[in-house]
Amino acid sequence: MAMVHAAREALESARKSFPKAPRIQRLMVEDEIDMEGRDALRMIAVMPDDTRDDEIAGGHTLDLNWAIYQALQAKGISLFPYVFYATERELAEEAEERAREAAG
C-alpha cells in the first residue's frame, strides 16, 4: 500500500508533463501481481466520456504510458505499471454490472 501511495504522489506531481492526448481526468492506482508473481502496479487512466477514437489511437497511449513509467522511475519506483484506459461511463457501467451480479 505504501508503494501505491508513493506512485500516486509521483504521478500527481508529474501530471503537467503528460501528453495532451489522451485527456486524463484521473489515474486510479492499485497493487498488482504480474504473471510471474512479481509486485507491479495496475493503473486505470480515466478519460472523459467525450473522448474521441483519434485521442487514443496511434502513439498517444504509448506516449502516456512512457510518461507514467518515467514519472515512477524518477521517484525511485521500479514496479511495472500496467496501464488500462476507460471512460467515466465505462467505469460506471462496469460497477453497475458487478452490483447486479453480486445481488444475484
Tell me: the pLDDT tens digits for 20-56? 999 999 999 999 999 999 999 999 999 999 999 999 9
SS (H, E, C) 56-81: CCCCHHHHHHHHHHHHHHHCCCCCEE
Computed over every residue of the chain, the mean pLDDT equals 94
In this predicted structure, the answer to whether residue 1 has a pLDDT above a threshold of 80 is: no
Region 2-103: CATH code? 3.30.70.1350
pLDDT band at 58 (very low <50, low <70, confident <90, very high): confident
pLDDT tens string 77-95: 999 999 999 999 999 999 9
pLDDT of residue 104: 80
First-to-last CA distance in the chain?
31
Whether 72 contacts 11, CB under 8 Å: yes
Question: How far is Cα 91 from Cα 98, in angstroms, rounded to an integer?
Answer: 11
pTM score, whole prediction: 0.88
What pLDDT is stored for residue 13 in this prediction?
92
Q: Produce one character per residue of 51-60: b if its CB has 16 or more CB atoms within 10 Å, e if not.
A: beeebbeeeb
